[in-house]
Amino acid sequence: MNRTEKPLASVPRAAPDYSDRAYWQGTIKMSLSKFFVLSVLHQKPMHGYEVVQTVATMTNGCCSPTEGTVYPMLNEFEAGGYLSSRFEYVQGRERKIYALTDAGRAAFQTAVGAWLEATDCIIASKAAAEARQES
């Protein structure tokens, strides 16, 4: 850094409101999006927009990622060898159809195990908190 350059000042961010349900819903949505993308593709191959719609339907809107989030995710999974793709033409339009590879199916099974473990911990924490409230 030369003498005329000044270090970038960090901009303080407001602390999140951890008591706000929307904060936790956003965190959950971000965390579960990849899981549900793998989950719907575990059912059958789909094009990107179908993935978005199926995740939203499957989760009753709890986790409904946008196309702007899903397409980079699909590209990341494909680059990592977890998805393969092919082009299909429907009514003159080209669609990229994504399918899980063997590595993608294995990743989905790993994710299921990890999320079930986390779910068990959440349920146990809730039960412990309720027991403390009763005593």
14-40 pLDDT, tens digit each = 888 999 998 988 888 888 999 999 999
Per domain, the residue ranges of the chain are 21-134
Computed on alpha carbons and rounded to an integer, the radius of gyration of the chain in Å comes to: 20
User: Which residues lie closer than 8 Å to 93 by C-beta, 6 or more apart?
Assistant: none
| pLDDT tens track for 93-104 | 999 999 999 999
CB 40 within 8 A of CB 21: no
Q: What is the pTM of this model?
A: 0.80
Q: Is 14 exposed, middle or buried (0-12, 13-18, 19+ CB in 10 A)?
A: exposed
Judged against a pLDDT cut of 90, whether residue 50 lies above it is answered with yes
The domain 21-134: what is its CATH number? 1.10.10.10
* Calpha distance 51→104 (Å, rounded): 15
